[in-house]
Amino acid sequence: MRIVELETVRTPTHPNLLFVRLRDDEGVVGLGEAFNGVAAVDAYLHETAADVLFAAPDVSPELCAQRLTPYMGFQGAGAETRGNGAIDLALWDLLGKKAGLPLTRLLGGPVRTPMPIYNTCAGSGYIRDAARQSSDNWGLPSEQAPQDLEDLDAFLHRPGELARSLWDEGVRGMKIWPFDLEAERTHGTEISVEALAHCIGIVEAVRAEVGLEMSLMIELHGLWHRPAAEKIIEALVPYQPYWIEDPLRSDATDAFARLAASTDLPIATGETCVGRRGFKPLLESGAVDVATVDIAWTGGLTEARKVATLADSYAVPIAPHDCTGPVTLACSAHLLSSQPNGLVQETVRAFLRTWYRELVEGVPVVEDGLIHLGDAPGHGVSLRDDLPTGTWVSRVSSHGSG
Contacts of 144 (CB under 8 A, 6+ apart): 124, 125, 354, 355
For residue 402, pLDDT over 80 is answered with no
Contacts of 41 (CB under 8 A, 6+ apart): 18, 34, 79, 82, 83, 86
Average pLDDT over residues 63-84: 87
Where do you find CATH 3.30.390.10 in the chain?
3-100+383-401
Cβ pair 81, 299 in contact under 8 A: yes
Confidence of residue 142 (pLDDT cuts 50, 70, 90): low
DSSP 334-374: HHHHH-TTB--EEE-HHHHTTHHHHHEE-PPEEETTEEE--
Average pLDDT over residues 109-133: 92
pLDDT score at 401: 54
Confidence of residue 144 (pLDDT cuts 50, 70, 90): low
The DSSP code for 230 is H
* 105-379 CATH pick, 3.40.50.1000, 3.20.20.120, 3.40.50.300, 3.90.320.10: 3.20.20.120
pLDDT score at 156: 96
pLDDT score at 77: 78
Integer angstrom CA distances of residue 51 from 54, 66, 83, 151, 354: 5, 15, 14, 43, 36
The end-to-end CA distance of the chain, in Å, is 21
**Radius of gyration for the alpha carbons in the chain, expressed in angstroms and rounded:** 20
| CA dist., res. 200 & res. 281, Å (int) | 31
Average pLDDT over residues 336-356: 97
The CATH number given to 3-100+383-401 is: 3.30.390.10
Q: What is the pLDDT of residues 303-314, one digit of tens each?
A: 999 999 999 999
Where do you find CATH 3.20.20.120 in the chain?
105-379
| CA dist., res. 148 & res. 162, Å (int) | 8
For residue 400, pLDDT over 70 is answered with no
C-alpha of 333 from chain center: 11
| CA dist., res. 149 & res. 299, Å (int) | 31
Confidence of residue 398 (pLDDT cuts 50, 70, 90): confident
Contacts of 378 (CB under 8 A, 6+ apart): 30, 31, 92, 93, 94, 95, 96, 97, 102, 103
Residue 119: its H or E element:
strand 115-120
